[in-house]
Amino acid sequence: MNWGLGRTPEAAEPAQDVVLRGIAKRFGENQVIEALDLEVVPGELLVLLGPSGCGKSTLLRLIAGLEEPSAGSVSIGGRAVDDVPPALRNVAMVFQSYALYPHMTVAQNLGFGLKSRGLSRAEIHDRVARTAETLELSELLERKPGQLSGGQQQRVALGRALVREPGVFLLDEPLSNLDAGLRLKTRDEIAALHRRLGTTMVFVTHDQMEAMSLGQRIAVMDQGRLQQIGTPEQIYDRPANLFVARFIGTPAINLAPLSPDAPGRLTWGPLSLHDPGAGAPATFAVRPEGLARAAADAGDMEMTVVRVEPLGSEKIVHALPTRGHDGGRPWTMRVSPAEAFTPGETIQVAIDWSRCHLFDANGARHPDPPQPFGVPG
């Protein structure tokens, strides 16, 4: 499937920015979104990522005008829209459910919103034809939704937004109803479509793989608060806090609780690190690719292999530290498929300290990588 890579639709509106200032939302006593500032630059594909109930879909509805903020302001295209109804905000929204009219054909579904906006029959026909070509729906225009596959229905739902030629697209978990293979294909096609159109898109998902592959920037949310915003590389390599570090990454990041046991020193099992703080507990973190097998006399810690997952292009090794492990989950290492590991064997593991993190007692990341105690920082 290739969504019209040979042609660029004529966009009626340029890409627009979206600016949120001090946005908050409360439902009764439930504070869904705390005071939040966010700016989406024109033409950007920004992903709102977070667990269920974090407020990301509510934030999208606030941008669309489907909800009113309890505090703060929303601007689109440099214009305050707090008192502007949804139909006049120049945004188009795609929901998790396809929301197609079952008694209408694909062409009628695509053109329905344009008809209600008073466009001429000729303009509606032109926009529907152009959108159908872009999304490879031209052969399906006379079919009804019940005659379409799930992927085709999702393309029609996207087409209903695209045909409006808005300044901003808002997509609320649009891939969650698709099976894994189709989800991957449609994800790639949305990315290609965005590159061609250059339209501002805000995409909501709880799936980190979708976020990392689609987003030019990712805004990570939790409990109604913006935890971090940055490129996928920044989010993965330099998580702002412990929540982001835990939420991003598969396999999950390896963690160890550190305690002060001497002036300037934090320890856990085999680890002894410089304390950059004031003698408070902290958390050490390293991603699976920050660990590697070492020679017998060159390791930073000793581990016992529990399980090996051969995944073709890589292996994931699950191993328990021989000291300090409290019965929690094993640590994981991402290694070359050519490396041999046997469950039950004891190995020495080297730590790439440049890829490690230290989080303070409040979960904030220390700006510098941790250093082994006794090694000059």
61's tokens: 């509805």
Phi, psi (deg, nearest 5) at residue 210: -60, -45
The model's pTM = 0.88
| pLDDT computed for residue 1 by the predictor | 37
Measure CA of the first residue to CA of the last residue in the chain; give whole Å: 53
306 contacts: CB under 8 Å, gap ≥ 6: 318, 319, 320, 330, 343
Delimiting residues of CATH 2.40.50.140 domain(s) in the chain: 252-359
Do residues 337 and 315 lie in contact, with contact meaning Cβ atoms separated by under 8 Å?
yes
Q: CA-CA distance, 274 to 265, in Å (whole number)?
A: 5
Do residues 43 and 201 lie in contact, with contact meaning Cβ atoms separated by under 8 Å?
no
Assigned CATH topology for domain 252-359: OB fold (Dihydrolipoamide Acetyltransferase, E2P) (2.40.50)
Helix (H) / strand (E) containing 306: strand 301-310
Question: Quick one: which of 56, 7, 344, 18 has its CA closest to 211?
Answer: 56
| pLDDT computed for residue 79 by the predictor | 94
Q: CA-CA distance, 88 to 103, in Å (whole number)?
A: 27
| pLDDT computed for residue 31 by the predictor | 95
Question: Quick one: which of 75, 208, 95, 227 has its CA closest to 154?
Answer: 95
| pLDDT computed for residue 161 by the predictor | 85
207's tokens: 């799936």
| pLDDT computed for residue 116 by the predictor | 76
23 contacts: CB under 8 Å, gap ≥ 6: 33, 35, 36, 37, 38, 59, 62, 69, 71, 72, 73, 74
Mean pLDDT by 10 residues, the chain (377 residues): 36 80 96 96 97 96 96 96 93 82 93 84 92 87 91 86 89 83 82 88 95 97 98 98 97 95 90 88 97 92 96 96 78 96 96 96 94 68
Q: CA-CA distance, 276 to 376, in Å (whole number)?
A: 12
Give helix then strand counts, H and E, for the chain. 8, 20
Q: CA-CA distance, 137 to 279, in Å (whole number)?
A: 63
30, with CB counted inside 10 A (0-12, 13-18, 19+), is: exposed
Neighbours of 103 (CB within 10 A): 10
Q: What sections of the chain are H helices per DSSP?
A: 56-64, 106-116, 121-134, 150-162, 180-197, 208-214, 232-237, 242-247
324, with CB counted inside 10 A (0-12, 13-18, 19+), is: middle
| pLDDT computed for residue 2 by the predictor | 37
Do residues 160 and 135 lie in contact, with contact meaning Cβ atoms separated by under 8 Å?
no
- We find that the CATH architecture of domain 18-242 is 3-Layer(aba) Sandwich (3.40)
Phi, psi (deg, nearest 5) at residue 274: -65, 140
Q: CA-CA distance, 194 to 196, in Å (whole number)?
A: 5
Delimiting residues of CATH 3.40.50.300 domain(s) in the chain: 18-242
Q: CA-CA distance, 283 to 288, in Å (whole number)?
A: 16
Q: CA-CA distance, 70 to 24, in Å (whole number)?
A: 5
Q: What DSSP letter does each residue of 147-174 carry, written as one string? A: GS-HHHHHHHHHHHHHTT--SEEEEEST
| pLDDT computed for residue 326 by the predictor | 64
DSSP, collapsed to helix, strand or coil, labels residue 330 as coil
CA distances, 191 to each of 45, 78, 143, 171, 364 (Å) = 9, 25, 26, 13, 32
Q: CA-CA distance, 187 to 201, in Å (whole number)?
A: 13
| pLDDT computed for residue 5 by the predictor | 31
Q: CA-CA distance, 41 to 16, in Å (whole number)?
A: 7
Do residues 116 and 133 lie in contact, with contact meaning Cβ atoms separated by under 8 Å?
no
